[in-house]
Amino acid sequence: MITKMTHTCIYVLNQDSAYDFYVNKLGFKVHTDAPMGEGARWLTVTPPEQPELEITLFLVAEGAMFDKDTVQTMTTLIMKGTFGAAVFTCKDLLATYEELKLKGVVFKKPPKKEFYGFEALFIDDSGNWFSLAQINS
Amino acid sequence: MEQYEKIYLYQRIVRAKLFIDKQYADKIDLNNISGQAHFSKFHFIRLFKSIYGRTPNNYLIKIRMDNAKILLAKGYSVLEASIMVGFDSPTSFASMFKKIAGKTPSAFHKEQEMKRNAIQTNPLLFVPNCFSETYGWVK
């Protein structure tokens, strides 16, 4: 039986910028930042209170995985805000919302009451969107 | 959302939290921090704790230790890290670090040095094989 998720990917358009967004703005911790040769980089971060889940900030770039057309298509889709990548939770949504706004994070939906608590939606530096939720205890 | 009515309180507490995040290496205390939020100390501590789950002083210690870990992981010495996060005494720093991290700063420093070396010599050790193969990173 499956027990846990240990790695997941978020496709980003620039790893330096993604590092700044996820580490300096969202407050995630760097797990591994390893050069893989030829400009490739294995960059994983973890949510502050979930050190066992590595989120790979994977660059959309031409190479073994993506050909030129795929890179163009993915770049367009990511920038258009097509992909909702994950739900993050916090203890106090309004405080987190205010803090992230002060740090320059763009929200596409402000905090709103939902049946499970409160939710807001923000966008990362590439265009991926995320739910930020405060779940009822 | 009833909390909306108190948004100005949130904004002041959040600014105080960001003040700690930015000035943690300086000699800041509760007077500086509560002054940032324009609250009485008692009111400030109560609100801060209700939002962040710990007192401003405890939060300051946490931020100092979190940043010390980052510095030690980058290769700074224990003495350098202790000064850079605002401790006058390396002994107090080591004692606080051990209390929070469960190991001495020297042990943490050594552990991180080994990880850095391993990343340099064999980065594929840190990448699940499915990713290595897919992206053409061969062992």
**Torsion over CA of B108, A37, A25 and B22, rounded to 10 degrees?**
50
Cα A122 to the center of its chain, rounded Å: 10
Provide the pLDDT for residue B139.
62
Asked whether the beta carbons of A44 and A19 are under 8 A apart, the reply is no
Among A31, A36, A62, the strongest candidate for a mutation testing the B interface, having the largest count of B CBs within 10 A, is A36
Provide the pLDDT for residue B130.
87
Measuring CA to CA, which residue among A113, A111, A136 is closest to residue A122? A111
Provide the pLDDT for residue B37.
74
Mean pLDDT of chain B: 90
Mean pLDDT of chain A: 95
CA distance B17 to chain A (A): 9
Which residues of chain A fall short of a pLDDT of 50?
Answer: none
ipTM (interface pTM)? 0.85
Q: Where are the alpha helices (DSSP H) in chain A?
A: 15-19, 68-79, 93-102
CA distance B119 to chain A (A): 6
Flag whether residue B131 sits within 8 Å of chain A, measured between CB atoms.
yes
Amino acid at A121: L
Q: At what angle do helices B41-52 and B30-37 cross, to 10 degrees?
A: 80
Strand order in the sheet with A54-59: A7-12, A54-59, A40-46, A29-37
DSSP string, B18-29: HHHHHHTTS---
Among A99, A102, A105, the strongest candidate for a mutation testing the B interface, having the largest count of B CBs within 10 A, is A99
Residue with tokens 């991926």: A128
CA dist., res. B16 & res. B32, Å (int): 9
Provide the pLDDT for residue A116.
92
Measuring CA to CA, which residue among B99, B97, B135, B63 is closest to residue A65? B135
CA dist., res. A134 & res. B97, Å (int): 31
pLDDT digit string (tens) for B6-15? 788 888 899 9
Residue B52 with chain A: CB contacts under 8 Å: 91-92, 95
Provide the pLDDT for residue B36.
72
Provide the pLDDT for residue A65.
86
Residue A56 with chain B: CB contacts under 8 Å: 131
CA dist., res. A135 & res. A71, Å (int): 36
Q: Do B1 and A94 touch (CB under 8 A)?
A: yes
Q: Do A118 and B127 touch (CB under 8 A)?
A: no
Sequence-distant (6+) residues with CB within 8 A of A98 are B7, B10, B11, B14
Which residues of chain B fall short of a pLDDT of 50?
Answer: 1
